Amino acid sequence: MTDHPRQDFERFTGPELAAEDDAPAASSGPPDNARLPIGVVLEISGSGSQIAFDLQRINECMADPDPSVALAGQVGSQIKIRVGDAWLLASVRDQRKDRRTEGGIIAHIDFLGEGGEEKLTGRIHGFKRGVTRYPVPGALCYPATTRDLEQIYASDGRASVTIGKVFPTKDIRAGLYIDAMLGKHFALLGSTGTGKSTSAALILHRICEAAPKGHIVMIDPHGEYSAAFRQTGQILDVSNLQMPYWLMNFEEHCEVLLSSSGNERQVDSDILAKCLLAARGRNRLAQTMGKITVDSPIPYLLSDLSNILQDEMGKLDKATSSAPYMRIKGKLDELKADPRYQFLFSGMLVGDTMANFIGKIFRMPGNGKPISIIDVSGVPSDITSTVVAVLSRLVFDFAIWGREEKTRPVLLVCEEAHRYVPNEKNSDGSSVAKILSRIAKEGRKYGISLGLITQRPSDLAEGVLSQCGTIIAMRLNNDRDQAFVKAAMPEGARGFLDSIPALRNRECIICGEGVAIPIRVTFDTLEEHKRPASEDPSFVDLWSRDGGEEELVERVVMRWRSQG
């Protein structure tokens, strides 16, 4: 290393360019890395450009006490480029050795935004996303300091929640703009074991603290989140959900009551439509309303539907088969008798409880519990997707019919989203996929926000992820998943995306509407009582215990049987 860092830079950029920066460099002691350039712009294009770094300068920066300066020039780090009297902020996407220059590195960068320069300190201020004025080849590049990043990440006055620390800084808080994030949907992605459930709980806890009169509905397929929201949320499962069967529309009735396929299914469907409409029509409410449809959420008696099927079967001539009627009636009787379906098909649910049910699910009024956790782990697997479809459709229909009322916005969070909105290859044409896709495309017009949580983004329906304005990506181990997320991310986040496989647990990349610029965040540690019950079992610990196995098996078998 020479006594004068500028001489190293001159070797690389030429004395003319190096002379442009008149920051004084001490002849002894460490260089002022923040004020000395580390590279020069070689080539410009619309979203990014190519720059050349000086290896000597990057090595000098590595010893800097400011962690942001210490990472300057490395993949995923931020640098700033002087454009007139302003600064342009960029993210380093990749690096390769420049064979033409000894100690030279060629890198591609993505532009993030721009801001003015504070005359006294040289820091960025008044940062805005997007670029209005591009640098020219030959412009000098400098490290972005922690103080610069503080200005960039500082809240601009919009409502926000803080969820962790910005990497690589020690003290800059990472914030999410609530309105921007929820207004255009969000997705939380990460492989199993990366801390995805805890991170989801952290974000929802922060939103609940910021908006204690909110309206959040979370579909929990594994029963993990009940423990996390026992104090601040309404926990609903098969024991207390009491979802009226008559809230299902015709398509959902078909999914539950029809077991046939092909041509037989069309015949069964026509019969069910006719009988279901007649059963709904017997309710006094229907008689006061005039015209109703087979989809109208009008209560009806299961016994009425059964009797109408029986009556219609009695009217058949001998040449017509009664098999379709028998199939539907048999399935209906089976559901009524099965105790596992009592939360849905119970004779007690025939009253007109629609307003109460919606109020309970959507937290209207919230009574200090802004989130409802709907634990569907106890729902029989063959109707789980139908139950999720009914709940999702209620959110959508309520918003549509409540447009005149300026209804409260509702956030619908769907864990294991790839199960409900699968891609074309895995699609079975279920009603839940249709309604969630529709919410993704149209929900924000009606004040519905969708939060998708999944460990397999590549299995999600095409287009659904691209509808999410904010993407929170934790570590993804699968190449297909990484490629899928990269395709959905905005241009400026590419440098961050390459670090997705290298993220540690409880670290993520956030980009999109919910943040000022793409950031890498280390999540806060969540208090024990606010964490979901998703801890991995310790094999060594559990396999070193002994005794009580017989009684344990007996208890499990009893619970197993009592579920029916």
The better pLDDT of the pair 246, 286 is held by: 246
**Residue 14: pLDDT over 80:** no
Residue, of 275 and 477, whose pLDDT is higher: 275
Residue 3 has pLDDT above 50, yes or no: no
Amino acid at 430: S
- pLDDT band (50, 70, 90) for residue 536: low
Tokens for 223, please give them: 């029963």
Mean pLDDT over the full length of the chain: 83
Q: How far apart are CA 259 and CA 519, in angstroms?
A: 49
Each residue of 230-271: pLDDT tens digit? 888 999 998 888 889 899 999 999 999 888 888 888 998 999
Point out the least confidently predicted range of 271-280, 495-504, 509-518.
495-504
Res 15 pLDDT > 70:
no
The packing angle between helices 250-257 and 323-337, to 10°, is 90
User: How far is residue 299's CA from residue 376's CA, in Å, rounded to a whole number?
Assistant: 23
Backbone angles phi, psi at 317, to 5 degrees: -85, 170
Mean pLDDT of 324-344: 89
The mean pLDDT value for 497-515 works out to 83
Higher pLDDT residue, 113 or 541?
Answer: 113
For the domain made up of 33-153, give the CATH fold: Immunoglobulin-like (2.60.40)
Which long-range contacts (C-beta less than 8 Å, at least 24 apart) are formed by 441-445? 441/467, 443/185, 443/396, 443/399, 444/183, 444/184, 444/185
More confident residue, 491 or 457: 457
pLDDT confidence bin for 273, thresholds 50/70/90:
very high
Cα(393)–Cα(48) distance, integer angstroms: 42
| Site of tokens 């297909």 | 480
| 374: helix, strand or coil | strand
Q: What is the pLDDT of residues 143-176, one digit of tens each?
A: 988 888 887 877 667 788 889 998 878 888 888 8
pLDDT of residue 493: 65
User: DSSP secondary-structure letter at 183?
Assistant: H
pTM listed for this prediction: 0.84
> Do the beta carbons of residue 512 and residue 469 sit within 8 Å?
yes
What are the boundaries of each domain within the chain? 33-153, 173-242+353-524, 250-339
Among residues 435, 20, 121, 414, which one has the least CA distance to residue 248? 435
Taken in order 519, 522, 525, 530, the sign of the CA dihedral is positive
φ, ψ (nearest 5 deg) of residue 150 = -60, -40
User: Which fold does the domain 173-242+353-524 belong to in CATH?
Assistant: Rossmann fold (3.40.50)
Amino acid identity, position 339: P
How crowded is the C-beta side of 532, counted as CA atoms within 13 Å?
A: 25
Q: Model confidence over 34-87: pLDDT tens digits?
A: 888 999 998 887 666 888 988 888 888 898 898 888 888 888 788 899 888 888
Cα 164 from Cα 225, distance rounded (Å): 20
564 pLDDT band (50/70/90 cuts)?
Answer: very low
Q: Match 């001539």 to its residue by tokens.
A: 317
Running DSSP on this structure, what letter comes out for residue 535? P
CA 106 to chain centre: 35
Reported as a single tens digit per residue, the pLDDT across 458-476 is 898 878 888 898 999 998 8
Q: Do domains 33-153 and 173-242+353-524 have the same CATH topology?
A: no
pLDDT at 508 over 50: yes
Please tell me the predicted confidence (pLDDT) of residue 12. Answer: 45
pLDDT band at 481 (very low <50, low <70, confident <90, very high): confident
pLDDT given at position 11: 46
pLDDT > 70 fraction of the chain, expressed in percent and rounded? 90
Residue among 513, 397, 399 at smallest CA distance from 447: 399
The strand pair at 48-54 and 39-44 is best described as antiparallel
What pLDDT sits at residue 78?
Answer: 86
State CA 344 to chain mean position distance.
Answer: 29
Residue 517 scores a pLDDT above 90: no
The pLDDT value given to residue 435: 92
Calculate mean pLDDT across residues 22-27.
41
Residues in the chain, total? 564
Of 350 and 137, which is predicted with more confidence? Answer: 137
Q: Find out whether 96 and 64 touch, Cβ atoms under 8 Å.
A: no
Distance CA 385, CA 171 (A): 44
pLDDT tens digit sequence for 176-231: 899 889 989 999 999 888 888 999 999 999 999 998 888 999 999 998 898 899 88
